[in-house]
Amino acid sequence: MVDAIVLAIAVFFGWMILDVVKTKKLTGEVVIQAGFVGIVAGILWYGIGVLLS
């Protein structure tokens, strides 16, 4: 569970940094999009971990 949370946070910040570099500005849309991608990545990582254990 902890590794899924760490991955979700890392994906969130990575996605946000890449999007801010691409658009040259930080908007609410970028934060919401990065949050959604981070949550989905965390859920998928946790699901894969449950299936493989």
CA distance 35 to 9: 9
Name the nearest CA neighbour of 11 among 45, 43, 34.
Answer: 34
Residue 1 has pLDDT above 90, yes or no: no
**pLDDT single digits (tens) 3-51:** 999 999 999 999 999 999 999 999 999 999 999 999 999 999 999 999 9
Torsion angle of C-alpha atoms 7, 8, 10, 14, degrees rounded to 10 = 130
Query: Model pTM?
Result: 0.85
